[in-house]
């Protein structure tokens, strides 16, 4: 039993082997770090004799050299031993104060090349194990078991702590991911809301801009039509003034010719009277034709003006259709009809444009004996206003 325990400890590179080298108690070998041990020159020479030949054979084998090149632990061990051997040779292996660290001792004793050294230490280890008491062995086994249980509890506690830490980290990660997702969704939602608001605001501004442009166009068209209407009215007034002046000029010329030719020529002889009557009839026919043409032009212009006025009023009424109810529209149409009726009745109880009889003769008087009047035979609806303007 002692031999088996010695084999296990020796094969596992336990620090007890180093204690056999140093000749000290095996319990001291559990201490780590640089320790000092007294080594006699005889032991050094014995160790060198044991170590050097196998090392040379080990390095001369190419297969083992390849393994050594990959095993950094063995390479460090060989480097350490080389330094130790060099130090030993330099000192001549005779110093009683030679020291080397415990790690070097462990590496030396755990080297599989030291078969002879291990065999030599087995006997010493077996003797030490036989010298120990059973109680000490039980105590150590108990300590080892307690230590093992303590290590097992510590391992389980570490595993539990690691699991709890992983669980906490997983929960924290999940919470962070959830918060990040909620934040991202919130930002996306806010971005969509901002985009929708901007889109609605843009559409509203575009709609308002189009409405403003439409109103401006309508106002421009309305002003343009109003200017054109005023220009037409001005031109019509100017034309009427010219025509009126032409008629007055013709009337004056007629009076002048009548005074020149006069009744003197008419009374001279019948021939002259007939010629005069023919001339008068011809002149009157010419005047009537010119007046009829003027009346037709006036009537046509008046009708066109009334149509434009009616169209303008209708357009204004259509613009107010959305704001007026049906009853208000009927009342407005009735008022417009009554206004037109009053306007028509105010013009001598006759429709506009009707030719009236001259005020200078009766119904049965002959046209030849009537002194021509300077007043026109037609009284348009707005003749008083035009006379006031002139």
Give tens-digit pLDDT for 351-379: 444 455 454 545 555 555 555 555 555 55
Number of domains in the chain: 1
Q: Report the pLDDT value the prediction gives residue 308, as an integer from 0 to 100.
A: 85
Q: Report the pLDDT value the prediction gives residue 223, as an integer from 0 to 100.
A: 92
On whether residue 306 sits in a domain, the answer given is no
pLDDT in tens, 300-353: 888 888 888 888 888 877 766 655 566 666 777 777 777 777 766 655 444 444
Q: Report the pLDDT value the prediction gives residue 152, as an integer from 0 to 100.
A: 92
What stretches in the chain show pLDDT beneath 50? Answer: 1-37, 91-103, 113-115, 117, 348-354, 357, 359, 361
Cα angle 316, 321, 323; round to 5: 110
On whether residue 23 sits in a domain, the answer given is yes
295 near 380, Cβ under 8 Å? no
CB neighbour class for 358 (10 Å; exposed up to 12, middle 13-18, buried from 19): middle
On whether residue 65 sits in a domain, the answer given is yes
On whether residue 107 sits in a domain, the answer given is yes
Written as six digits, the tokens of 32 are 């780590």
On whether residue 156 sits in a domain, the answer given is no
Q: Report the pLDDT value the prediction gives residue 140, as an integer from 0 to 100.
A: 81
Q: Report the pLDDT value the prediction gives residue 256, as an integer from 0 to 100.
A: 80
On whether residue 85 sits in a domain, the answer given is yes
For residues 348 and 379, what is the distance between their CA atoms, to the nearest angstrom?
Answer: 9
Residue-range definition of the domain harbouring residue 57: 2-132
Neighbour count for residue 72 (Cβ, 10 Å): 9
Residue with tokens 């011809």: 282
Q: Report the pLDDT value the prediction gives residue 176, as an integer from 0 to 100.
A: 93
Record the pTM: 0.23
On whether residue 90 sits in a domain, the answer given is yes
Q: Report the pLDDT value the prediction gives residue 3, as an integer from 0 to 100.
A: 39
On whether residue 86 sits in a domain, the answer given is yes
20 near 125, Cβ under 8 Å? yes
For residues 221 and 239, what is the distance between their CA atoms, to the nearest angstrom?
Answer: 26
């Amino acid at each position: 039993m002692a031999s088996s325990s010695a084999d296990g400890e020796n094969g596992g590179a336990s620090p007890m082997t180093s204690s056999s080298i140093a000749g000290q108690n095996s319990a001291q070998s559990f201490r780590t770090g640089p320790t000092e041990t007294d080594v006699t020159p005889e032991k050094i020479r014995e160790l060198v004799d044991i170590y050097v030949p196998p090392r040379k054979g080990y390095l001369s084998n190419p297969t083992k050299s390849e393994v050594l090149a990959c095993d950094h632990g063995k390479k460090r061990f060989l480097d350490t031993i080389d330094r130790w051997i060099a130090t030993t040779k330099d000192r001549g292996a005779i110093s009683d104060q030679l020291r080397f660290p415990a790690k070097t001792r462990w590496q030396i004793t755990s080297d599989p090349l030291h078969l002879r050294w291990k065999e030599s230490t087995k006997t010493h280890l077996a003797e030490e194990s036989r010298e120990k008491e059973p109680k000490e062995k039980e105590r150590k086994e108990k300590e080892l078991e307690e230590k093992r249980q303590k290590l097992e509890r510590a391992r389980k506690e570490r595993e539990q702590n690691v699991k709890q830490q992983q669980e906490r980290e997983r929960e924290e990660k999940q919470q962070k991911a959830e918060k990040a997702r909620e934040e991202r969704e919130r930002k996306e939602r806010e971005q969509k809301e901002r985009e929708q608001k901007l889109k609605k605001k843009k559409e509203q501004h575009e709609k308002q801009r189009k409405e403003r442009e439409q109103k401006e166009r309508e106002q421009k068209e309305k002003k343009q039509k109003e200017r054109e209407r005023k220009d037409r009215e001005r031109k019509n007034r100017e034309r009427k003034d010219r025509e009126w002046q032409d008629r007055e000029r013709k009337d004056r010329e007629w009076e002048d010719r009548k005074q020149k030719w006069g009744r003197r020529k008419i009374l001279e002889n019948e021939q002259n009277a007939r010629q005069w009557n023919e001339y008068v009839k011809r002149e009157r026919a010419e005047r009537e034709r010119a007046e009829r043409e003027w009346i037709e032009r006036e009537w046509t212009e008046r009708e066109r003006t009334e149509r434009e006025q009616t169209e303008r009023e209708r357009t204004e009424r259509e613009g107010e259709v959305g704001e007026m109810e049906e009853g208000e529209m009927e009342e407005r149409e009735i008022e417009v009809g009554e206004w037109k009726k009053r306007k028509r009745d105010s013009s001598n109880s006759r429709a506009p444009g009707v030719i009236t009889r001259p005020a200078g003769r009766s119904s049965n008087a002959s046209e030849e004996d009537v002194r021509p009047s300077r007043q026109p035979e037609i009284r348009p609806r707005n003749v008083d206003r035009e006379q006031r303007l002139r």
